[in-house]
Amino acid sequence: MSAGVAKPANPMPHVDPKSATLKEIPDVLVDPRTMRRYTRGRFLGKGGFAKCYEITDVETKQVFAGKIVPKSLILKQHQREKMTSEISIHQSLNHPNVVGFHGFFEDDDFVFVVLEICRRRSLLELHKRRKAVTEPEARYYMTQLLKGVQYLHNNKVIHRDLKLGNLLNSNELLHTRDFGLATKIEFDGERKKTLCGTPNYIAPEVLCKKDRWLGVFQKLLICWDFPTQSSLRCYKQNMQRSISESTTH
């Protein structure tokens, strides 16, 4: 993976991630291509293999969010390809309702992704504090969400993991983040068949061939409750069916 064009990192010998010793993240992050330096600040959060910190450009003093992934946790081919795909898709996007992508680089131990910082955190954290928002607020957030989703779909990108935790609020705008499960439609009529995402948010039309959704966000915002548990039941049934089919073929 080198700056400019996302591509798989060089093959690495297999090591069990659970037994691998994680290197300490440096206090100063250096882009070896541009020699730009960033100081690592406060911890913002973590998810999957990544940790996120506030980072500051030493020269310009501009503040970003730095997503940092240890290479020792992405040793398998499919993990490196997933990281490459996430970077490739995200760097191709530019819209007010998508978290800004400002570059990426790597050293021997880590992959660093430089992103727009959203200081007011996620809608999930907002809900933990307030439990519910007003209907005018819900309308505003839904409008922002739909603008972002429309942009993604116009650019043939399917996010596949939209949830409150992946919607960041900053400067009165809602920003969609985390393209780790995202995919791109390569030709008209292509159908993606991978079942993935967060079960409570997966659309019933994906699981049970029913025609409704994104309303899950509106009900969550106003009532702090999922519309139905049927999606979970369908998810379990489909997973059991998939496992059964894979063992009989």
Q: Which residues are part of the catalytic machinery?
A: 161
- C-alpha to C-alpha distance for 56 and 210, rounded to whole angstroms: 46
3-state SS, residue 15? coil
Nearest to 33 by CA among 106, 116, 109: 106
76 among the known binding-site residues? Answer: yes
Nearest to 182 by CA among 3, 6, 1: 6
- C-alpha to C-alpha distance for 60 and 199, rounded to whole angstroms: 42
CA atoms within 13 A on the CB side of 169: 16
Annotated binding site for ATP: 76
